[in-house]
Structure 1
Amino acid sequence: MNDQQGGGEQRDVITVLVTDHREVEQMFAELETMIGAIGERPQTLAEQVVIELVRHSVAEEAYLYPAVREHVPGGDELADKEIAEHAEAEKTMKRLERLEPGDDDFWPVLEELMREIRHHIQDEEGDLFPRLRAACPPEALTELGAKVERAKKLAPTRPHPSAPDKPPADKLLAPGAGLIDRLRDALTGRGRS
């Protein structure tokens, strides 16, 4: 997913994450035109979706949700709900990772993932993001945007449902897992169009 918009100006965290959401939705829309298809393109696109979702969720868990806990009234409950949704989606991604478009379960599992992620996006954009924007100073949102973009570059690219999802353990383990995942991806060609 794109790290910065043209001109090099740093975007705030909400803009960064909404851009991620739109890019994932574009991939979902393309996959929906292929439902039932067998071949390399749906496999590659599904892999790209998983890579982007994992990077996105790791960055959210490391920086967005701690900011929600700190700044938003009722933020602990809100962050816990979002993290629980991530955990469910990671389990679905792990199941999808073991499948290919020719497998009976591939398309149903992918459709389940799309439903989970679309629900999560609707929650974040309709509730969490407006509450965070109202409660957090603009400069803090911009600083969070930079942190999220850096975290995505180091984040794992494969689902790790049993990995810690709360600070500080998430920040300690993500770069190592991310390096190993990127090496595996390079060796296997995973996620390349």
Structure 2
Amino acid sequence: MAHAPDVIAELTADHREVSELFAQIEEITPGSAKRKQLLDQLTIELVRHSVAEEMHLYPAVREYLENGDALADKELADHGRLEQLLKGLEARDADDLDFNRLLVNLRVEVFAHVKDEENNLFVQLRQACHPFVLESLGEKVRNAKKTAPTRPHPGAPTSPPAIKLLAPGIGLVDRARDFVTGRGL
């Protein structure tokens, strides 16, 4: 029986998907409506990923890593900056003057966050946690992404238990809005 990806493999795969979406956006002519459509897909993936990390990864970081509270707090601060940029982009059309500036800022922030997670946080987790713990976290993250919000909500809670209680409901509302508007399809 094959094992499902552990939390590190799962989140690293998400990182590659986000990188590919950025590459696709960069290939499209600035001002094109297709850029906005791709940004909507990118936003959906980033928000789902972030919420899953906030629900399951960062509590594990606090529990298993020395200096875990400081590491988790830093990651949450990164997420806060990303949510603000995503919210700013959500309110703009692709031909808006600030769209490209915000998109570049988002790319820089995302890539710095990804590099830090993959080169530091994930390495420490791999050393500190039993493979069973990492596999269990991977399953929890996969399940969380299924019900997570798809739009940025900068004011929403980012720590358990509030996020575990509120995220599925916010996610349901977001997915209903996405269905009605055709966003992300």
TM-score, shorter chain, exceeding 0.5: yes
Alignment of 1:5-154 (within 5 A): 9-39=3-33, 41-154=34-147
Task: After TM superposition, give the deviation of residue 111 of structure 1 in Å.
Answer: 1.1
Distance change in 2, residues 1:46/1:71 (3 Å): same
> Does structure 2 conserve the Cα–Cα contact (< 8 Å) formed by 1:63 and 1:147?
yes
Distance change in 2, residues 1:68/1:35 (3 Å): farther
Q: Larger % of helix: which? A: 2
Q: Distance in 2 between matches of 1:136 and 1:150?
A: 20
Q: Does 1:184 align with 2:182?
A: no
Please name the residue that 1:3 is paired with.
Answer: none
Q: Distance in 2 between matches of 1:8 and 1:109?
A: 42
SS in 2 for 1:125: helix
SS in 1 for 2:97: coil
> Does structure 2 conserve the Cα–Cα contact (< 8 Å) formed by 1:35 and 1:107?
no
Count of aligned pairs: 185
Q: TM-score, normalised by structure 2?
A: 0.97
Query: Is there any run of 5+ residues in structure 2 with no aligned partner, and where?
Result: none
Q: Taking every aligned residue pair, what percent have the same amino acid on both sides? A: 53
Moved over 3 A (4+): none
Query: Is there any run of 5+ residues in structure 1 with no aligned partner, and where?
Result: 1-6
Q: Distance in 2 between matches of 1:96 and 1:9?
A: 38
Q: Distance in 1 between matches of 2:3 and 2:100?
A: 39
SS in 1 for 2:95: coil
Q: Distance in 2 between matches of 1:76 and 1:168?
A: 16
Q: Does 1:160 align with 2:146?
A: no
Q: Distance in 2 between matches of 1:161 and 1:91?
A: 6
> Does structure 1 conserve the Cα–Cα contact (< 8 Å) formed by 2:31 and 2:96?
no
Q: TM-score, normalised by structure 1?
A: 0.93
Q: Distance in 2 between matches of 1:36 and 1:62?
A: 35
Q: Distance in 1 between matches of 2:2 and 2:145?
A: 17
Task: After TM superposition, give the deviation of residue 37 of structure 1 in Å.
Answer: 3.7
- 1:138-168 C-alpha deviation (Å, 9 max, x unpaired): 0000000000000000000000000000110
Task: After TM superposition, give the deviation of residue 35 of structure 1 in Å.
Answer: 4.9
Task: After TM superposition, give the deviation of residue 8 of structure 1 in Å.
Answer: 6.8
Q: Distance in 2 between matches of 1:131 and 1:56?
A: 20
